[in-house]
Amino acid sequence: MTTTPAPQPENRYINRELSLLNFNRRVLEMAQDPKVPLLERLKFLCISFANMDEFFEVRLASLYEMLGDSNVRTVPDGLTPAEAIKMLNAEAHKLVEDQYDTFNHILIPELAQEGIRFLRRPNWTEAERAWVRQYFIDNMLPILSPIGLDPAHPFPRVQNKSLHFIVSLEGEDAFGRRIPMAVVPVPRTLPRVIRMPKEISGGDNDFVFISSILHANVGMLFPNMTVTGCYQFRVTRNTNLFIDEEEVDDLMKALAGELSTRQYGEAIRLEVADNCPPHLVEYLLDRFRLTKDELYQVHGPVNLHRLMSVPDMVDRPDLKFPPFQPTLPTVGKPGKKGFFLFGSKAKAPKNIFEQIRQRDILLHHPYEAFAPVVDFINQAADDPNVLAIRMTLYRTGENSPIVAALERAARAGKEVTAVVELRARFDEDNNIQQARRLQEAGAHVVYGVVGYKTHAKMIHIVRREHDRLAQYAHLGTGNYHHVTSRFYTDFGLLTAHEGICHDVNKVFLQLTSLGAAPDLQYLLQAPFTLHSGVIERIQREADNARAGKPARILAKMNGLQDKQVIDALYEASQAGVEIDLIVRGICCLRPGVPGLSENIRVRSIVGRFLEHHRVYYFENHGERPELYISSADWMRRNLKGRVETATPILEPDHFQKVYTEGLALYLQDNQGAWALQPDGTYLRLHPEEGEQPFSAQQALIDKYNTASET
């Protein structure tokens, strides 16, 4: 008797950009969660606004670029760009409306109950109104440049995401002409929210929006004329850079030239106050060549992301997450020779290289400090026995101590090679500056491989030890960024393992010489072996399941979109493999569909820290289970269009640490976890009856706090 296959969804895949919007909705839900401290909820709201900006200026902008090609389709779901844009604008409108509802109807009232008030113009007292007027005269009037619109003053060139006001006027200007409209740009240097003095408002934490200050005093910009309306607006533009890497001689020079035009790309979205009259809205849409689908009329200040400064201005620790200090790792086992607290004076070996030779050091950020990685580079720069340092730099931040150490090492005559990824989105300018610094110091600086971003996180150090050259390496899942390491979850491995270090050396040689793909013994590398290696391991688990053997796949990442990997996971599920995926953001796979993916479960974790590590586990029945940490998500761009690495975790203790802290704890989470449903929506998980609340992030904070106290 044959069975009829269960019906499968019309589309086996979830749209990538729709999944990204769903992630941002989860961030917004954190702003609505009463269990989260109130000022942290305001931060989550601000993050959701920043995410929406990037969604429009990067992801939706990319779809608009595709509109001219009738053959192109979105990957992996196969929509036309026009279909995707229409769907995404509709979903984005709903999300933006929910953002402002959260701000106006949830956060503002709750903040006011705690004495943190945003003072609105209709409710100002005479004293507050007088203070606002004087603030405008002293701090804004001298630097504002209103532009009356006439043939000699055409509509201004509006920068991406900059705050402007359109003003309607009556009366004659100084030259006897009637000017019906003007535009007032607000410089980025002006704060968007200002604290009002306690002696004026009566409260310690009373704030006023810059938009309210300008609204109340805009008439001062137009003497002898009558302002009949004043409405804020902001335009979001395409910020993708257009460089034909095959046609340029110097990528850094070409990129620097392109950056100057980024702020004036094609308009993608218009945000405008919801009380703006229709004729002015139509006028703005026409100026920016946008349709009503791309119009977002908002009830409140545009760009609420700028409220991110408020929690730092308010001294209310009871409304914030408790302070957390990262710990320093230990090496060895207590009670045995060689045990010491990393960086402690007592019992510590002479330098970090001796520590790593005794045993690999596995770091889990932000629970463990990033300082050992900085020490690794600093000691290499200053150690006369270190001959060469090679490093990839994707995002480092300003005033990076790591770049300073590389610069110092180069000036000391060491062989320093930096593979600087100039095309790290929104960090291009900073990376150009860092590259120039290193070049001036005498370092060899290369920009990766044409057509492939270098996203791998690697350091390679060669040190003379007695009569031999010893090699050391660091491989990580996150950037060499001393600031983001405080709130991004990442793993990093400091190792002297001979085989792994040889592999790292081979990858660097390939990046600088552009030679053939290296033959690696331990590492998997994109775009050569990582994609096929992942699929082979998924298929091996499927073969084991078909043979009646236990089969298991666990993986954690930021995004899952590659069609071939998804199809391999579908086949493994149908073969009986139990699969648990922890995917923070984009996930194009549909879990739990009968006959397709009923053995696949997908969850997303959103919490105090940004989940950033990538971990892959394959049970490999009958052999040693395989566990990798990686710089790569299972996205097409990472597996096919970037230089990435995946590093095996070989030491048993480290294996257990990564497995437990990177995977197992997150599968128990019922506080910050959402389960992906077959229809593409996410369901917030809560403790079942009799089940204790459990947060993976809080469990790790508690664990490392306890370890630090011990």
Contacts of 590 (CB under 8 A, 6+ apart): 9, 12, 13, 14, 596, 597, 678, 679, 680
The predicted pLDDT at position 345 comes to: 41
For the cut 50, the answer to whether the pLDDT of residue 347 exceeds it is no
The more confidently predicted of residues 35 and 420 is: 35
Q: Is residue 3 part of a domain?
A: no
Q: Residue 43 domain-assigned?
A: yes
Task: Please indicate, yes or no, whether residues 586 and 452 belong to a single structural domain of this protein.
Answer: no
171 with 270, same domain: the answer is yes
Confidence class for position 211, pLDDT limits 50, 70, 90: very high
Q: 674-683, pLDDT tens digit by residue?
A: 999 999 999 9
Q: Token pair for residue 399? A: 């005033």
| 11 within some domain | no
Q: What is the mean pLDDT of residues 389-404?
A: 90
Q: What is the largest CA-CA distance in the chain?
A: 93
Q: Are residues 81 and 54 in the same domain?
A: yes
pLDDT at 7 over 70: no
Residues 395 and 283 in one domain: no
Looking at 517, 545, 568, which one is the last position of a domain? 517
- Average pLDDT of every residue of the chain: 90
With beta carbons less than 8 A apart as the criterion, state whether 605 and 676 touch.
no
Region 427-431 average pLDDT: 74
510 and 530, same domain (yes or no): no
Tell me what pLDDT residue 609 has.
97
Question: Do 117 and 243 fall within a single domain?
Answer: yes
Q: How confident is the model at residue 242 (pLDDT cuts 50, 70, 90)?
A: low
Using the predicted structure, report yes or no on whether residue 331 has a pLDDT greater than 80: no
The C-alpha atoms of residue 263 and residue 537 are separated, in whole angstroms, by 44
Q: Which percentage of the chain shows pLDDT scores above 90?
A: 78
Locate 598 and state its tokens: 């009923």
Task: For residue 56, give every residue at least 6 positions away whose Cβ sits within 8 Å of its Cβ, in sequence order, or none.
Answer: 92, 236, 268, 269
Q: Which of 319, 344, 374 is the last residue of a domain?
A: 319
455 noted as active-site residue: yes
Among 455, 497, 613, 654, the active-site one is 455
612 is in an annotated binding site: yes
Do 293 and 367 belong together in one domain?
Answer: no
User: Is there a binding annotation on residue 425?
Assistant: yes
In this predicted model, which residue has the larger pLDDT, 250 or 598?
598
Asked if 393 and 273 sit in the same domain, the reply is no
Is 51 annotated in a binding site? The answer is yes
The pLDDT value given to residue 303: 84
Domain endpoint, select from 517, 551, 574: 517
Q: What is the pLDDT of residue 343?
A: 47
Residue 129 counted as an annotated binding residue: no
d(CA 215, CA 231): 8
Pairing of strands 552-557, 626-630: unpaired
Give the pLDDT confidence score for residue 382 in this predicted structure: 95
d(C-alpha 372, C-alpha 489), whole Å? 16
How many structural domains compose the chain?
A: 3
Confidence band, pLDDT 50/70/90 cuts, at residue 572: very high
The answer to whether residue 326 is domain-embedded is no
pLDDT (0 to 100) of residue 396: 85
* Residue pLDDT, tens place only, 479-531: 999 899 999 999 999 999 999 999 999 999 999 988 888 899 999 999 999 99
Q: What is the CA radius of gyration of the chain?
A: 28
Give the contacts of 143 (CB within 8 A, at least 6 positions apart).
187, 189, 190
Residue 36: CATH number of its domain = 3.30.1840.10
CB atoms inside a 10 Å sphere around CB 513: 9
Q: What confidence tens digit (pLDDT) does each residue in 281-312 have?
A: 999 999 999 999 999 999 999 989 989 999 99
Inside any domain, residue 671:
yes
Task: Specify whether 631 is located in the same domain as 595.
Answer: yes
The secondary structure of the chain in percent helix, strand, coil, rounded to multiples of 5, reads 40, 25, 40
Nearest to 483 by CA among 436, 447, 430, 422: 430
pTM of the model: 0.92
Most confident of 233-247, 435-449, 670-684: 670-684
335 in any annotated domain = no
Of 253-257, 337-341, 396-400, 604-608, minimum mean pLDDT range: 337-341
pLDDT at 336: 47
* Cα gap 651→649, rounded to integer Å: 6
Residue 433 has what pLDDT? 83
Pairing of strands 330-331, 340-341: antiparallel
Same domain? For 70 and 113 the reply is yes
Q: List, for residues 246-275, the tens digit of each pLDDT value.
A: 444 455 555 555 556 667 889 999 999 999
User: CATH code at 417?
Assistant: 3.30.870.10
Confidence of residue 426 (pLDDT cuts 50, 70, 90): low
Tell me, yes or no, whether 359 and 304 share the same domain: no
Domain membership flag for residue 6: no
Claim to verify: residue 493 and residue 548 sit in the same structural domain: no
- DSSP letter (8 states) at residue 472: E
Structural domain harbouring 385 = 353-517
Q: Does the structure show a pLDDT above 60 at 615?
A: yes
Length of the chain measured in residues: 710
| Helical H segments across 481-616, by residue range | 498-513, 530-546, 563-575
651 within a domain of the structure (yes/no) = yes
